[in-house]
């Protein structure tokens, strides 16, 4: 009897009932898919104020489109006007503790007819988490306003976001049919495809999004990671890597590191003072149009936040015209955003150097000023769009 | 991580396995398997990656059919040349020619870059090793594979394509025959269980250990001694879980097709001597190196000195097989030296008549600890450039920052 016959003989006396085992695997798989589709609604994020280290991609936690939808549904009752905040760390409120977050102040100023939800994220672009959530709400027929920030000269690198690590949320929501129809965006993405096909990670991500729409494995895994325990070690969670993410709280910011960055920020502001060509602005407008569905544009309020005046003071020492040039480029950016049908506003215009943590992030005092500047604008936008705002 | 990619897990594997398990005759199953192999290989390697392997495979098959040792040797030379060309030309140009004269390396590299791809074809090392094994065996008088279908299945069997085990056609073809005839629920269940073990080893243990080690090794001096030793152990466990996890995935998938592949890792960290470790670690590769490099060089038949040199050559090649970089070569030489030392020690013990005492059970823990430490230091060479490996090794013994 050779080793293969021995093997075959051994197989005839299995250590488990193979039929039952295979049926169990298939049944469990189907059950997981079904549970995955519903789990984000059953277990939404708790006590959500804003994204933080432990529920964002930097710690290998990638909130899914269904989790985002569950969050906005839970946060915004049907009779309220949703004010979704997107964009980067400036609107996320880096530099402000949760208790003194600017979006909380905005909520207070707007009153109970509105629900403010801060979905801005570090290094984010206007067309990532916040816009995805705003599109979902609009798609559901909710009254929604979308508030985000964009830097001078820049909006988004691609119609599906700027940072590759954040683009998944767009594709996840798109694969589930949760986004608004926007043929211009679809065409721009199709045009990008040949270039991206070479990127293995992108192809994998795109396929994964489509598969997840059917099988909901990412949704299930992230809900389990949030509620029961994670399977991924990351430096940020190194003390308790397997602990469920719901138990993690925001860590107070290491402000010294941010303050040290103010000098480096001078180079960025210097580049903001340089005028751009007509071709550049044509491309800029095209990007904005590709990234933003038509119905959302009038509901958007894009803040172009001013940098710390102290940085401009430093720059003025080397170029006395720096302040004027900066103001001119900021106004040009606003003009081009408005030309695309978006509402755009010069942000933090009343902030002083004491209101900034570093080159551009606001301290609680700056956040309060921003909220006070934006609240009347949001209210008037809502009046214009929805008329009588009381249900 | 090909076996853990979404395309593989959610599209290829369910579709292919679903089709394969239908009650076909074994002939149809073989054609199905060939189709699966081609789809799998083309998806991950692309047409540019498939073409050279197809050419090399066709050539190997044709040359072996002649059964003439001369033709087989030609085939072996072509396979070696292909492997060197695709995988090591850049290394040789940059490192060897470049170290002689900086412009030489660049010139040769620029010339070759115009007509060979930047990345070697997927799994070229596995393909060439299996082709060389086949040609050597046929050249020695074994029966060649007559059916092109069987040869194609041996060459491109997708579960073993990415990370082995390195197959032997004498074992593989009967296993394939059996699998295509009578794959059953037992195979599927056992394969699934093995696949699940592989996923846990690779995705849960190895990947997390890799992230942890990568985080810790950058600031090792900041940690106390016991944590540095933990990192040292973590490096060893990470590579074991990674390699053996991938082998488990391959063996499990093959088993789901009814095909039993040979084991590749047999509890290597329980070895109590270095040569035993190498009988347990990456068995299919070590066996290949032993049979087709070490023994043809003379093995242990030509005295202690020659035995040590042969071991060095074999292990330098083994190191180079893992990647075209100096740290892999060093790692191979280091293990070659370790095995040479073991052989010399064994000779010495024989002479003084202590061999039997050395086999006594109470010596084994010492043997095990020495072997594991030696292997662990080897992993430092495997993963890090020499100065960093040395620094890390010193930090295991010096409780300070100034190393």
Name chain B contacts of A233, Cβ cutoff 8 Å: 208-209, 211-212
- The answer to whether residues B93 and B108 touch, using CB atoms and an 8 Å cutoff, is yes
Confidence of residue B123 (pLDDT cuts 50, 70, 90): confident
Give residue B12's pLDDT band: very low, low, confident or very high (50, 70, 90).
very high
Domain membership of residue B195 (yes or no) is: no
* B31 touching chain A per CB within 8 A: no
If you write DSSP's letter for every residue of A162-181 in order, what string do you get?
SSGGGHHHHHHHHHTT-SPP
Residue A16: per-residue pLDDT = 61
Q: What residues of chain A have any CB closer than 8 angstroms to a CB in chain B?
A: 2, 4, 7-8, 11-12, 14, 16-19, 21-22, 25, 204, 207-208, 211, 215, 231-235, 238, 241
Q: Which residue has the higher pLDDT, B231 or B24?
A: B231
Assess whether pLDDT exceeds 80 at residue B164.
Answer: no
Strand partners, A114: A81
Which domain does B74 fall in, by range?
Answer: 17-182
Residue among A165, A108, A176 nearest A136 (CA): A176
Residue A387 is classified by DSSP as: S
For chain B, the C-alpha Rg in angstroms (whole number) is 23
Choice among B43, B101, B282, B322 that is catalytic: B322
Q: Are A40 and A223 in contact (CB under 8 A)?
A: yes
Residue of A16, A215, A233 with shortest CB distance to B208: A233
Q: In what order do the strands lie in the sheet with A144-149?
A: A114-118, A81-85, A144-149, A300-305, A343-347
Task: Give the integer Cα–Cα distance in Å for A92 and A49.
Answer: 10
Residues B158 and B299 in one domain: no
pLDDT for residue A200: 66
Chains A, B: CB pairs < 8 Å: 63
Integer Cα distance of B133 and B77 in angstroms: 12
How far does the CA of residue B372 sit from the closest CA of chain A (Å)? 26
My answer on whether B45 and B141 are in the same domain is yes
**Which of the four pLDDT bands, split at 50, 70 and 90, describes residue B401?**
low
Mean pLDDT of B311-327: 86
B260/A7 CB distance under 8 A: yes
In the numeric block, the tokens 């061999």 are attached to: B355
Chain B hits for A2, CB-CB cut-off 8 Å, are: 174
Over its length of 391 residues, how does chain A's per-residue pLDDT go in tens digits? 445 454 555 555 555 677 787 788 889 999 999 999 999 999 999 999 999 989 999 889 999 999 999 999 999 999 999 999 999 999 999 889 999 999 999 999 999 999 999 999 999 999 999 999 999 999 999 999 999 999 999 998 889 988 888 999 999 999 999 999 999 999 999 998 888 877 767 778 888 999 999 999 999 999 999 999 998 999 888 888 899 999 988 887 777 777 777 777 888 899 999 999 999 999 999 999 999 999 999 999 999 999 999 898 888 888 888 899 999 999 999 999 999 999 999 998 889 989 998 888 999 999 999 999 999 999 999 999 988 665 4
The whole-angstrom distance between B215's CA and the closest CA on chain A is 7
CA distance B66 to A50: 72
Contact at 8 Å (CB) between A51 and A129? yes
Residue B57: inside a domain, yes or no? yes
| Rounded Cα gap, residues A302 and A259, in angstroms | 26
**Do the Cβ atoms of B10 and A215 come within 8 Å?**
yes
Neighboring chain B residues of A234 at a CB cutoff of 8 Å: 211
Q: What per-residue confidence (pLDDT) applies to B360?
A: 66
- Cβ atoms of B317 and B289 within 8 Å: the answer is yes
Cα of B28 vs its chain's centroid, Å:
31
Q: What are the CB-based long-range contacts (under 8 Å, 24+) for B90-99?
A: B90/B324, B91/B324, B91/B325, B95/B326
Chain A residues lying within 8 Å of B204, measured CB to CB: 231
Residues of B in contact with A220 (CB under 8 A): none
Please tell me if residue B188 touches chain A, with a CB cutoff of 8 Å.
Answer: yes
pLDDT at residue number B120:
77
- B222, burial (CB in 10 Å: exposed 0-12, middle 13-18, buried 19+): exposed
Q: In sequence order, which residues have a C-beta less than 8 Å from that of residue B385 and are 6 or more positions away?
A: B327
Mark whether B169 and B283 lie in a shared domain: no
Beta strand extents in chain A (DSSP E only):
81-85, 114-118, 144-149, 300-305, 343-347
CB contact under 8 A, A233 and B5: no
Percentage of chain B lying above the pLDDT 90 cut: 42
Across the interface, whether the CB atoms of A234 and B211 are under 8 A apart is answered yes
User: Total structural domains in chain B?
Assistant: 2
Domain boundary among B182, B199, B227: B182
How far apart (Å, rounded) are the C-alpha atoms in residues A134 and A151? 20
Judge if ipTM > 0.90: no
In DSSP notation, B163-195 reads: T-PPP-HHHHHHHHHHHHHH--HHHHHHHHHHH
- B155 with B301, same domain: the answer is no
Inter-chain residue contact B215 with A11, CB threshold 8 Å:
no
CB A262 within 8 A of CB A358: yes
Is residue B318 a contact partner of residue B334, using CB atoms and an 8 Å limit?
A: no
Q: Do B189 and A22 touch (CB under 8 A)?
A: yes
B322 is catalytic: yes
Mean pLDDT of B149-163: 91
Contact A204 B187 (CB under 8 A): no
In this predicted structure, what is the pLDDT of residue B153? Answer: 93
**Nearest CB to B212 within list A8, A207, A233:** A233
Give the minimum alpha-carbon distance from B369 to chain A in angstroms, rounded to a whole number: 29
- The domain limits of chain A are 45-383
**Neighbouring-strand partners of residue A79:** none
Nearest to A21 among B178, B189, B212 (CB): B189
Taking contacts as CB-CB distances below 8 angstroms, the residues of chain B near A231 are 203-204, 208
CB of B178 less than 8 A from some CB of A: yes
- Give the per-residue pLDDT at B60: 93
A137, A214, A199, A138: which is closest to A167 by C-alpha? Answer: A199
Helix (H) or strand (E) holding B227: helix B225-256
Q: Is residue B103 part of a domain?
A: yes
Within a domain: residue B8?
no
Distance in angstroms (rounded) separating the CA atoms of residues A48 and A51: 8
Q: What is the DSSP letter of A67?
A: H
The bridge status of strand A114-118 relative to strand A300-305 is: unpaired
Quick one: A251 exposed, middle or buried, by C-beta within 10 A (0-12, 13-18, 19+)?
exposed
């Amino acid at each position: 009897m050779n080793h293969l016959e021995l093997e075959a003989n051994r197989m005839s006396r299995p250590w488990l009932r193979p039929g039952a085992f295979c049926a169990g695997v298939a049944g469990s798989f189907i059950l997981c898919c079904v549970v995955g589709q519903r789990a984000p609604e059953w277990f939404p994020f708790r006590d959500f104020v804003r994204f933080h280290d432990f529920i964002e991609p930097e710690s290998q936690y990638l909130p899914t489109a269904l989790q985002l939808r569950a969050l906005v549904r839970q946060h915004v009752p049907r009779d309220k006007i949703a004010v979704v905040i997107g964009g980067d760390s400036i609107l996320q409120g880096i530099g402000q503790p949760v208790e003194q977050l600017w979006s909380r102040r905005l909520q207070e100023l707007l009153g109970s007819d509105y629900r403010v939800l801060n979905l801005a994220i570090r290094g984010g672009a206007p067309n990532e988490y916040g816009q995805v959530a705003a599109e979902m709400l609009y798609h559901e027929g909710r009254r929604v306003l979308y508030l985000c920030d964009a830097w001078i000269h820049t909006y988004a690198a691609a119609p599906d976001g700027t940072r590759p690590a954040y683009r998944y949320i767009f594709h996840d929501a798109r694969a589930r049919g949760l986004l608004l129809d926007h043929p211009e965006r679809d065409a721009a993405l199709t045009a990008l495809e040949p270039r991206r096909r070479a990127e293995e990670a992108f192809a994998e991500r795109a396929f994964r999004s489509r598969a997840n729409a059917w099988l909901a494995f990412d949704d299930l895994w992230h809900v389990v990671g949030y509620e029961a325990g994670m399977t991924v070690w990351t430096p940020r969670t190194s003390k308790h890597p397997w602990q469920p993410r719901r138990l993690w709280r925001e860590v107070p910011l290491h402000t010294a590191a941010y303050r040290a960055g103010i000098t480096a920020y001078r180079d960025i502001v210097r580049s903001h003072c340089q005028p751009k060509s007509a071709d550049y602005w044509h491309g800029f407008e095209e990007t904005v149009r590709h990234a933003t569905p038509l119905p959302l544009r009038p509901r958007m309020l894009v803040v172009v936040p001013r940098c710390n005046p102290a940085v401009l003071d430093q720059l003025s020492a080397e170029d006395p015209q720096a302040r004027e040039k900066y103001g001119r480029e900021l106004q040009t950016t606003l003009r081009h955003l408005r030309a695309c049908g978006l509402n755009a506003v010069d942000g933090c215009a009343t902030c002083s150097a004491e209101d900034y943590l570093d080159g551009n992030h606001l301290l609680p005092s700056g956040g309060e000023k921003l909220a006070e500047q934006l609240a009347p604008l949001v209210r008037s936008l809502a009046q214009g769009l929805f008329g009588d705002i009381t249900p | 991580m090909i076996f853990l990619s979404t395309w593989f897990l959610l599209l290829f594997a369910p579709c292919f396995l679903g089709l394969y398990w239908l009650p076909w005759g074994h002939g149809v199953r073989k054609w199905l398997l060939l189709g699966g192999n081609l789809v799998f290989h083309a998806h991950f390697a692309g047409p540019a990656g498939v073409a050279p392997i197809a050419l090399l495979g066709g050539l190997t098959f044709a040359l072996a059919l002649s059964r003439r040792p001369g033709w087989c040797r030609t085939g072996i030379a072509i396979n070696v040349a292909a492997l060197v060309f695709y995988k090591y030309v850049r290394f040789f140009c940059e490192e060897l020619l470049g170290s002689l004269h900086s412009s030489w390396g660049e010139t040769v590299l620029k010339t070759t870059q115009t007509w060979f791809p930047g990345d070697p074809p997927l799994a070229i090392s596995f393909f060439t090793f299996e082709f060389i094994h086949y040609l050597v065996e046929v050249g020695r008088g074994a029966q060649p594979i007559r059916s092109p279908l069987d040869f194609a299945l041996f060459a491109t069997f997708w579960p073993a394509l990415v990370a082995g085990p390195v197959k032997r056609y004498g074992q593989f073809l009967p296993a394939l025959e059996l699998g295509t005839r009578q794959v059953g629920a037992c195979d599927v269940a056992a394969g699934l269980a093995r696949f699940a073990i592989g996923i846990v080893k690779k995705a849960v243990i190895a990947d997390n250990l890799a992230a942890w080690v990568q985080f810790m090794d950058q600031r090792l001096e900041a940690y106390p001694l016991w944590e540095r030793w933990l990192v040292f152990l973590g490096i060893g466990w990470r590579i074991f879980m990674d390699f053996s996890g991938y082998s488990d995935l391959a063996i499990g998938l093959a088993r789901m097709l009814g095909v039993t592949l040979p084991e590749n890792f047999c509890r290597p960290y329980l070895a109590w001597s270095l040569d035993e470790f190498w009988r347990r670690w990456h068995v299919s590769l070590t066996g290949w190196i032993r049979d087709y490099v070490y023994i043809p060089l003379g093995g242990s038949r030509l005295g202690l000195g020659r035995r040590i040199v042969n071991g060095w050559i074999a292990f330098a090649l083994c190191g180079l097989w893992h990647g075209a970089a100096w740290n892999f070569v060093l790692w191979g030489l280091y293990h070659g030296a370790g095995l040479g030392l073991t052989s010399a020690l064994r000779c010495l013990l024989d002479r003084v008549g202590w061999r039997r005492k050395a086999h006594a059970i109470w010596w084994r823990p010492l043997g095990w600890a020495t072997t594991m430490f030696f292997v662990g230091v080897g992993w430092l060479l495997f993963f890090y450039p020499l100065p960093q490996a040395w620094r890390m090794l010193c930090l295991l013994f010096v409780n300070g920052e100034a190393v």
